[in-house]
Amino acid sequence: MSNYLRGIDVSHYQPHIDWAKVAGAGFSFAFCKATEGVASRDELFGSYWRQMRAAGIVRGAYHFFLPTDNAADEAAHFCDVLDRIGGGLRADDLPPVCDVERAGDMSIAELSASVHAWCDAVRTHFGRTPMLYLSKGFGGLDDSFGDFPLWVARYANVPDPGVPHGWSDWAFWQTADHGEVPGVSGTNVDINVFHRETLADLQAWVAEH
């Protein structure tokens, strides 16, 4: 794992970030929370989205999916915020991310259909296949998502996180939720790695996705 390219993911819970220092410490990519549900927008998304690019960090935006809300409306909200606040999704940005952590009262079939609806709408809008963020043990989805890029969360001290059922490999791995990173002051931050070793590898992967 020590050879994998490193990154972080952030939201308003990390209100003080010097992105130049983050980049200087060897972190090459970052995900920033954009939206949640049908109405919530992260207050720092716009500024962080611009600052990440200015610092030379490969940037990604994620949506926190709420199973209690309408998936099409959630997708429309995410796309609107990314376009209106973030200036859209560029070809060298990471794929849009759907963060799925809750199943609510939905069955596996119901949640899977809802997440597919979100992904289909976002893919139609941006022309990019979304990535899914899941914990290793999340069992709320069926096996129909294996063609979607995977960002998996698993904090165990293991050489490989493994993947949820339906996938054969992962693209990004959230390895820790209480990391300390130069440039992120006053709070901890999530640490991630990309399943390759160099920035050129990441840029090539983004071009394919």
Residue tagged active-site, from 18, 73, 101, 110: 101
Q: Which of 17, 16, 34 is nearest to 85 (CA)?
A: 34
Is 9 a residue of the active site? yes
| CA dihedral sign of residues 45, 47, 53, 55 | negative
Return the CA Rg of the chain.
Answer: 16
Catalytic hit among 9, 36, 99, 190: 9
Smallest CA-to-CA distance from 69 within 57, 78, 61 is with 78
**Rounded to whole angstroms, what are the CA distances from 148 to 98, 128, 138, 169?**
11, 10, 16, 10
**Which amino acid makes up residue 104?**
G
**100 alpha carbon, distance to own chain's centre:** 10
Report the alpha-carbon distance of residue 49 to residue 54 in Å, rounded: 9
CB neighbours (10 Å) of residue 41?
Answer: 18
Residues catalogued as catalytic: 9, 101
